[in-house]
Chain A
Amino acid sequence: MQQQLASIVATAQQESAAVTTRAELEAFKARVVGPNGTLTQVMKGMAALSKEERPVVGKLINEAKKSVEELLAALLAKVEDAEIADALGAPADPSLPSPDVPAGSAHPLSRTRERMLASFRKLGFTVAEGPEVETEWHCFDALNTPADHPARDMQDTLYLPAAFRSADAPRKGSEAVLLRTHTSSVQVRTMLSRKPPFRIVAPGRCFRRDAVDATHSANFHQVEGLWIDRQVTLADLRGVLDFFVKETFGPDAETRLRPSFFPFTEPSFEMDLRSPNLGRLSGRWLEIMGCGLVDPKVLELCGLDPQEWSGLAFGLGLERIAMLVHGIDDIRHFYANDARFLRQFA
């Protein structure tokens, strides 16, 4: 019996070498431990043994069974390995480059805009938007820019023909329709449609009838801010703009408010920036935005009582900020879309 068991195990070990597939494994398993398997036959013979022989033979059988089971487990692992190798192919060189398209990137103007909006959002300014084609009233009249103001001359503004009807900016009467020259028109629309208090930033595309060169572009982008509340002050204006400048240009940046003139703010200022970290522009006062308190006339024109409400407003050029932050020397790069430019800011 003992010899018989040893021979079964030895045969099984010998035959197992030829097993490579799952089918061969199943057939092999049946030959040894299946209903008519060699080991099963021996186990069936146990019934004929005497009471004394059974424990001894039982022990031998268990040992043989354990050997066979180990053999089967090893075979299963071997077959599975073969199957996996078959499914996955040969191991790859992990150092080869990925053949797939890498993630894209946001345009530097978008990145700069989102950074700026994030700074203003910390101060409670949320984004407002409005149409790019505007009526003359929203773009000029409501902003206290009288009809004979030089900004309305044909050489500065792009107009649309009299027959042009905008679904987004319907005319009142016979006023002209134009491509907005600033996003201040969004401020006007917000004052007309929302109840104060509110703080908004209006990023968007603007248009001027300018010949294109290194610093001028027929279209460009602005980010304008407006805060209307019961008691908005010049100290608030400095607070908001100082915060923005330090967020954008770092804690070493200094600012100053230089008195200026805009029809829609009073007092009006240009904000200058000076920073030690701007390359060849370091250490010089650079004009970066116009700002001021909203002129009471504008509040009135937009349906707000200047006795009750006051406000601050500011506007800056997105291209200008992006150029300063990244040291870009020509505005045309933003619109040329050369990947060697676009990827530098990803």
Chain B
Amino acid sequence: MKVSLQSLSRHVDLAGVSADRVAEVLPMLGLEVESVTTFGLAPLPQVVVGEIRSFEKHPKADRLSVCQVDVGDGAPRQIVCGAKNFKAGDRVPVALPGTVMPGGFEIKVSKLRDVDSAGMMCSSEELGLGKGEDGLLILTPRAPAVGTPLNALYGPPDTVLEISVTPNRGDCLGIRGVARELSAALGRPLLPLSHSTPPGSQASGGPRQVRLSSDACPYYTLRAFRSVKVGPSPDWLRRDLEAAGLRPINNVVDITNWVMLELGQPLHAFDAAAVKGAVEVRPARDGETLALLDGRKVALDGTVCVIADEARALVLAGVMGGAGSGVSEATTEVLLESAWFRPADVRRAARRLGVSTDSSHRFARDVDPAGVELASRLAADLLVKLAGAEPVGPAVAAGRPPRADVTVDLPAGFVAAKVGAPVSDADVSAALTRLGFTVKSAGSGLSVTVPSFRSDVTRPIDLVEEFVRIHGTDNVPVGRPAAPAPGDEDAPSAAFAREASARLIGAGFTECCHYSMRDAAELARTLGGDLAPALAIENPLTAEQTHLRASLLPGLAGALALNASVHADLRAVFEVGVVFRPQPDGQVREHLAVAFAALADPLTRSWKSREPWDAQRMKRLVLDVAALAGAGQARLSFGAASGGLWQAGHASALLDRARSLDGAAGVLDLRWTRSLGLRGPVVAGEALIPRSALAEARKTPRFEAFSSFPPVTRDVSVVVPEAVAAAEVESRVRQAAAKAAGKEFTLESVTCFDVFSGGKLAAGSRALVFEVRWRHASRTLTGEEAAKALEAVMTALEKGAGWTVQR
């Protein structure tokens, strides 16, 4: 919404108020000022009216003319010019040498293709007056005296403020609404509107019948005019429209636009000759089409409201006029519509068409029903004055204004309780009165009548906002918040994410942050082609961001590749964030993912070599992260990993007995990481934790006493077929060792510390060697006890599992 200071001054006295001051005041009322620009002719004392006495073609350039121009200072001066739109005797603006043009360009005496030129004849655009006709600004019709400074022909420049109006403030989509705000803030009265057209009669039976057959339009008025002379608008009207960013069209259309800018009430002018019989506001008929003013032909249906005559739809109500019934040069009879359309219907219709017009924008923000009649009268005044129009018959009004003023009861102390500081009724009353509200005492509180132009103010809390806007937010004290209730803690997921990050940062990983939306190929790699479509977004913006992410690892592999390509030495990266996983039941579950990836070999050389990072290091980190999520190692084991991210045989999947956590660790698929530009292997890990798993607060651990006696350790070597997983063997050893300890002493640990094959072992088998550690709570275990327990373990493995134990 563009408003100029000169137009605001029609509604509120701004004498002595600078543009800067207005630009300071408006934002603090809730009207954000996006730009402040000068409109009109800036002070240019060295630009004067000149007369082109004669001109001839430039000897060396076909497109240039050499002109003799009289600027009233004696002999004519020679000026070279590129424009074509003039004739001898034309008067034009001439910038004399020394002028600094609005664009910052300084005019100097110079030579153009070897011909002297002492000044510049100017176009409208060069003078900062907007895009006019092509070529020079021809002043001949105005017949100004030669030598007159151009500024004498134009009024002083205006200041235009571009204001962004929030959706609740439809009233400020008219200059008078903005002026009303300034009047309240500056304490200056709002000037009355003057108009001479009498209010329209409520009686029907005028020249046109109006029928309302749509809920979208409860109130519709028409005025009829004849002998209308369509032509260009006067300068002041054109200027006002241009200052607001509108293009002048003809006097009738310009008047409707000018009133809309002034009051915020959109109007529509029909060529009455194109309207057959009665006017009806009705839902469009299915299959009905309408050719719009913008040249489009749209198919309509019953969800949109149209203005129609007896034959056809003429206007898309509140949005855009039709091509067949608009005002043209040939128009002599005009119907002027001023109406109230329901905001939701206009918004829906405009959205369906994919347009936002000055009209739909305003109707969608609830125009003032009380302004419908007023706008019509103002426009009628101007049609009579500027287009010679003669009113025909009385104005027609169908329906009733849908809203009126609203009275809100404001309980005593309500405002003070919301502000958090003492506020007197008098203060509240003064502030609201300045806004044009009517305030009366009612019992212990106040009764506030809110005019219909403020549809957003209906409740006591709305009046608090109004009070604070006028009272000034700087006058609200800065409070000192009271102590909070005890016992609140951060969500467990937040605490977990923090701890997991700290663990990984300590291990040398740098945190990354990637987009959640990924492309289809990545999802197919992560989840497989069958599951990937489950994470597709309905309305993606780009082909790179079509799916929700299912893993953080592709992003991390990309980050390693990017940094390797730019020679930024980054070996290890991690990310913590939400990923999405389709579940067997068809639902999608959010998991908090902690993922990390590292180049197995360092990027840079070192005087001392280190072992490459391997899959085992990644497994350790996955377990550590899982432990932070409350999943102890007893619950977890690893099996072979599958899927497109991992290198078969060199990665393992996390198995959770509680079926809650998910994860994997190992080497990323080597062909994939190589295709990203990473030469060596990339080791990585990812733990996926559903939010529900983190929901329970962690218990405070209780101390348990421990034995002060030494343990006994015994080794047991088991030969198993290669296909048997170490975890399975370990689990058997653990069971047997716990059983052997019985209730007398306890099994402390079982650790696989050696794996070998070949030698004397049969092909296809391997030996796993475990250390078993027992301890007694209150004494040292004897050798016999240990031997007996070991024997029991070995027997169990031989007889129970059918494996060979090396004795």
Binding site for B on A (CB under 8 A): 96-97, 99-107, 109-110, 114, 117, 121, 123-129, 131-133, 148-150, 153-154, 158-161, 164-168, 179, 197-199, 203, 205, 207, 209-211, 218-219, 227, 231, 233-240, 242-243, 256-261, 266-270, 293, 295-296, 310, 334-340, 342-343
Contact = CB atoms under 8 A, between A and B. Distances in A.
A218 B166 contact: no
Nearest to B31: A259
A166 B590 contact: yes
Contact of A296 (B461, B545, B590, B610): B461
Interface in B140-186: 166-169
B595 interface: no
Given A259-B473, A269-B473, A337-B555, 18 more contacts: A104-B508, A123-B481, A158-B537, A159-B537, A166-B590, A167-B590, A197-B485, A209-B541, A234-B476, A236-B479, A237-B479, A259-B28, A259-B468, A261-B30, A267-B468, A268-B465, A337-B559, A342-B511
Contact of B473 (A158, A160, A256): A256
B478 A238 contact: yes
Given A107-B513, A128-B491, A234 B418 contact: yes
The 5 nearest A-B residue pairs measured at CB = A124-B484, A233-B420, A235-B420, A235-B479, A267-B465
Contacts of B609: 99
Contact of A261 (B28, B168, B417, B419): B168
Given A165-B587, A166-B587, A233 B465 contact: no
Contact of A198 (B28, B488, B541, B568): B488
Contact of A148 (B169, B348, B491, B555): B348
B84 interface: no
12 contacts: A104-B511, A127-B491, A133-B590, A150-B167, A179-B516, A205-B577, A234-B468, A235-B419, A238-B479, A259-B468, A293-B418, A342-B570
B421 A337 contact: no
B6 to A, nearest CB: 26
Contacts of A121: 490
B590 A106 contact: no
A339 B501 contact: no
- Looking at A167, A207, A270, A342, the one whose CB has the most chain B CB atoms below 10 A away is A167
A153 B473 CA distance: 33
Contacts of A158: 517, 537-541
B513 A106 contact: no
A334 B30 contact: no
A256 B491 CA distance: 31
Contacts of A338: 562-563, 566, 568
A203 B494 CA distance: 9
B105 interface: no
Interface string B574-591: 100110100100111110
B515 interface: yes
Given A126-B489, A231-B417, A104 B507 contact: yes
Contacts of A334: 513
A239 B418 contact: no
B499 interface: no
Given A99-B607, A198-B485, A129 B494 contact: yes
Contacts, number: 249
Contacts of B491: 126-129
A106 B536 CA distance: 30
B509 A235 contact: no
B686 to A, nearest CB: 17
B570 A339 contact: yes
Contact of A104 (B167, B509, B563, B578): B509
Interface in B476-498: 476-481, 483-485, 488-491, 493-495, 498
A337 B562 contact: yes
Contacts of A110: 501, 511, 513
B469 A105 contact: no
Contact of B481 (A236, A256, A257): A236
A109 B515 CA distance: 13
Contacts of A149: 167
B473 A167 contact: no
Contacts of A159: 537-539
A334 B537 CA distance: 23
A154 B493 CA distance: 31
B167 A335 contact: no
B636 interface: no
B607 A339 contact: no
Interface string B503-519: 01111111111111100
Interface string B337-350: 00000001001100
Given A107-B512, A114-B498, A218 B505 contact: no
A199 B580 contact: no
Contacts of A236: 420, 479, 481
Given A107-B511, A234-B420, A337-B559, A123 B587 contact: no
A205 B515 CA distance: 10
B169 A261 contact: yes
Nearest to A271: B473
- Looking at A160, A267, A338, the one whose CB has the most chain B CB atoms below 10 A away is A267
Interface string B436-477: 000000000000000000000001011011001100011011
Nearest to B574: A104
Given A258-B30, A261-B168, A102 B508 contact: yes
A129 B484 contact: no
Given A101-B508, A158-B539, A218 B515 contact: yes
B478 A235 contact: yes
Nearest to B517: A218
A236 B484 CA distance: 13
Contacts of A127: 490-491, 494-495
